[in-house]
Amino acid sequence: MLPLEQALTQMLAMLPTPDCAQAEQLPLQHAVNRICAEDIISPLNVPSFDNSAMDGYAVRLADLAQNLTLTVAGKSFAGAPFDREWQTQSTVRIMTGAMLPAGADAVVMQEDVIVNEDGTVTFPEKIKAGQNIRYIGEDVKQGEVVLNKGSVLNAVSLPLLASLGIDKVKVFPRLKVAVLSTGDELVPVGQALKEGQIYDTNRFTIQLLLEKLNCEILDFGLLPDNEQEFEKAFIEAQQQADLVITSGGVSVGEADFTKKVLEKVGQVNFWKIAMKPGKPFAFGRLKNAWFCGLPGNPVSALATFYQLVQPVIAKLSGYSQWKAPQRLAAIAVTKMKKAPGRLDFQRGFYQVNAQGQIEVQPVGFQGSHLFSSFVKNNCFIVLERERGNVEAGETVTIEPFNHLMS
């Protein structure tokens, strides 16, 4: 059996990143969830001029060294700067965000001054140079890379570009992914079940996950376990898609037949991955597309998609800034059954206890045919390959479900 990490390393080493020549330029509002195909360099300083962080008075410390009471020379409002000559022994009334008059050393907030009857203003003694001033380029410097190539364009990165006056961005093409299910026993959701039939869950699951990853989905439907039908569908799918994802038909016995068809269309490896759930997994290259064959079991299909296909899609999409789901340490609240030999992804529910520690326990049954285990839980409990049973109180590694599963 192939360790999961090794399978991942082997796959990722084979996969190319998309060609920048295929990138397209889009207006920001059409670039949501796309992958940025260029380093974004700031054309501006942010802020673009020194300005006030408070409503108050702009002062020169040299004036105050002589006298704490100053006359008011004029006003600076946001969008309407003070544009006259600034006489000595005077202050400029200034509002938040307004341009600082040239030569000002500090802004004193209005609550800290006394406005006298004659209109002059008296300042407190302790004023620090630079106080309440937002300096030019403090947030972003002109010429600085503000977003790396390979980042996702989302609700925080797109407004950053907008704030810099950038209205278009180069993005990689959306990955075209063909999805198909295999199995004589399967029926599309929405039809009545006959004896011995089950619903095709995987095509639905995989399409939902692909939607979250902003892929372009090509639904190739449901295939009966029939060699001619497989061959026809695989040939068509790989002509249209960048990646073909199937489920079912990769376990022993069935694999021989799927394998034969896939060998005609490309080179596909059938792996036994040392992970649970999800042992059988196929990966390789068809003539025009990459191929991932997931196990049929809905729990295994989801777990292998999450652990193996998610990074494959990130790489093929140009999402080089993608981060593998974070792993944390947690205290097991209950015993857990585990046989050494495979990396185990049990489903667990984690929470922070009254002492501020993360604790975790599996809720419900764990069988790889029991999809409800995903609904009742919020993380994977990742139990190392060589580990045996876990006792209550032991430390385990958890992997909170990411946005794909929420």
Give the footprint of ligand AMP on this chain (CB under 6 A). 181, 183, 185-186, 198, 200-203, 247-251, 254, 295-298
Question: Any idea of the CA torsion for 54, 59, 61, 66, to the nearest 10 degrees?
Answer: -130
Question: Taking the CA atoms of the chain, what radius of gyration do you get in angstroms?
Answer: 31
CB of 390 to ligand AMP, least distance (A): 27
Residue 76 interacts with which of Mg ion, ligand AMP, none, CB < 5 to 8 Å by class:
none
CB of 225 to ligand AMP, least distance (A): 8
Residue 146 region by backbone torsions, left for phi larger than 0, else alpha for psi between -120 and 50, else beta: alpha
Residue number, 91 or 182, with CB nearest to ligand AMP = 182
CB of 205 to ligand AMP, least distance (A): 8
**What is d(CA 189, CA 270) in angstroms, rounded to the nearest whole number?**
29
Residue number, 238 or 246, with CB nearest to Mg ion = 246
Residue number, 61 or 189, with CB nearest to Mg ion = 189
Residues pairing with 92 in the sheet: 58, 74
CA 389 distance to own-chain centroid: 33
Report the residue closest to ligand AMP, judged by CB.
Answer: 296
Distances (CA, A) of 327 to 40, 254, 255: 30, 35, 33
CB of 216 to ligand AMP, least distance (A): 21
298 binds Mg ion (CB under 5 A): no
CB of 221 to ligand AMP, least distance (A): 11
278 binds Mg ion (CB under 5 A): no
Residue number, 183 or 278, with CB nearest to Mg ion = 183
CB of 238 to Mg ion, least distance (A): 20
Return the DSSP state at 378. Answer: S
CB of 181 to ligand AMP, least distance (A): 4
Residue 198 interacts with which of Mg ion, ligand AMP, none, CB < 5 to 8 Å by class:
ligand AMP
Residue 361 interacts with which of ligand AMP, Mg ion, none, CB < 5 to 8 Å by class:
none
H-helix or E-strand containing 384?
none
Listed in order, strand segments (DSSP E) in 165-215 are 168-171, 176-182, 186-187, 198-199
Residue 50 interacts with which of Mg ion, ligand AMP, none, CB < 5 to 8 Å by class:
none
Placement of tokens 């889009």 in the chain = 26
Residue 17 region by backbone torsions, left for phi larger than 0, else alpha for psi between -120 and 50, else beta: beta
| Identity of residue 175 | L
Listed in order, strand segments (DSSP E) in 338-403 are 343-352, 358-361, 379-383, 395-400
- Report the DSSP pairing between strands 395-400 and 379-383: antiparallel
User: Hey, is 227 helix, strand or coil?
Assistant: helix
183 binds Mg ion (CB under 5 A): yes
For residue 120, the number of C-alpha atoms closer than 13 Å in the C-beta half-sphere is: 10
Residue 284 interacts with which of Mg ion, ligand AMP, none, CB < 5 to 8 Å by class:
none
Q: Site mask, Mg ion, residues 242-271, x = CB under 5 A?
A: ------xx----------------------
Residue number, 249 or 293, with CB nearest to Mg ion = 249
Residue 325 interacts with which of ligand AMP, Mg ion, none, CB < 5 to 8 Å by class:
none
Contact 70/121 with Cβ under 8 angstroms?
A: yes
H-helix or E-strand containing 114?
strand 114-115
Residue number, 105 or 200, with CB nearest to ligand AMP = 200
Residue number, 181 or 310, with CB nearest to Mg ion = 181
Which span sits near Mg ion by CB under 5 A: 68-76, 107-115, 203-211, 295-303? 295-303
Residue number, 147 or 405, with CB nearest to ligand AMP = 405
Instruction: Please tell me the total number of residues recorded for the chain in this structure.
Output: 406
Residues in contact with Mg ion, counted by CB under 5 A, come to a total of 4
List the structure tokens of 252.
């022993």
Contact 278/298 with Cβ under 8 angstroms?
A: no
Residues near Mg ion (CB under 5 A) are: 183, 248-249, 296
